Structure 1
Amino acid sequence: MRVLLIEDDPTLGRALQEFLTGQGYAVDWLAEGQRALLAIKNYTYDLVVLDLNLPDMDGLEVLRTFRQQGSQIPVLVLTARDALADRVAGLDAGADDYLSKPFELDELAARVRAFARRHLGTVIPVIEFGSISFDTVHRELRVAGELLTVSVREMSVLEILLSRASKVVTKQQITQALSAMDADFSENAVEVYVYRLRKRLEGRGVAIKTVRGFGYMLELEESA
Structure 2
Amino acid sequence: MKILLLEDEYALRLSIKEFLEDCNYEVDDFADGLEAHDAIYSKLYDLLLLDVNVPSMNGFALLQAIRKDGNKTPAIFLTSMVDMQNLNEGYKKGCCDYIRKPFDLLELELRINQAVKSFYLQNDELIALGNDVFYDMLKGKLTHCSKEIILRKIEKDILELLIKNKNIVVSMQMFQEGIWGEYVEPATIRVQVNNLKQKLPESIIQNRRGMGYIIER
TM-score by length of 1: 0.67
The alpha-carbon deviation at position 173 of structure 1 amounts to 1.9
Match of 2:120 in 1: 117
In structure 2, what is the Cα distance between the partners aligned to 1:11 and 1:91? 27
**TM-superposition CA deviations, 1:77-129 (whole Å, max 9, x none):** 123x15253534433454332123423253254045236507xxx55432221
Kept after mapping to 2: 8 A contact 1:133/1:142 = yes
The alpha-carbon deviation at position 31 of structure 1 amounts to 1.5
Q: Note the 1:175-214 alignment, pairs <5 A.
A: 175-180=176-181, 187=186, 189-201=188-200, 204=201, 206=203, 208-214=205-211
Uncovered stretches (5+) of structure 1, i.e. residues with no partner: none
Match of 2:140 in 1: 139
Kept after mapping to 1: 8 A contact 2:2/2:25 = no
The RMSD of aligned alpha carbons is: 3.9
2:91 paired with 1:91: yes
Q: Note the 1:1-224 alignment, pairs <5 A.
A: 3-13=3-13, 16=16, 19=20, 23=24, 28-39=28-39, 42-43=41-42, 45=44, 47-56=47-56, 58-63=58-63, 66=65, 70-73=68-71, 74-79=74-79, 81=80, 83-85=82-84, 86-101=86-101, 102=103, 103-104=105-106, 105-114=108-117, 117=120, 124-128=124-128, 129-162=130-163, 168-180=169-181, 187=186, 189-201=188-200, 204=201, 206=203, 208-218=205-215
Kept after mapping to 2: 8 A contact 1:50/1:77 = yes
AA aligned to 2:213 is Y
Q: 1:10 to 1:162 in 2, by over 3 A?
A: same
- SS of residue paired to 1:141: strand
AA aligned to 1:96 is C
- Give aligned pairs, total: 208
In structure 1, what is the Cα distance between the partners aligned to 2:162 and 2:187? 17
* Aligned residues with identical type, % of pairs: 25
In structure 1, what is the Cα distance between the partners aligned to 2:11 and 2:98? 21
Q: 1:44 to 1:158 in 2, by over 3 A?
A: closer
Uncovered stretches (5+) of structure 2, i.e. residues with no partner: none
Q: 1:113 to 1:83 in 2, by over 3 A?
A: same
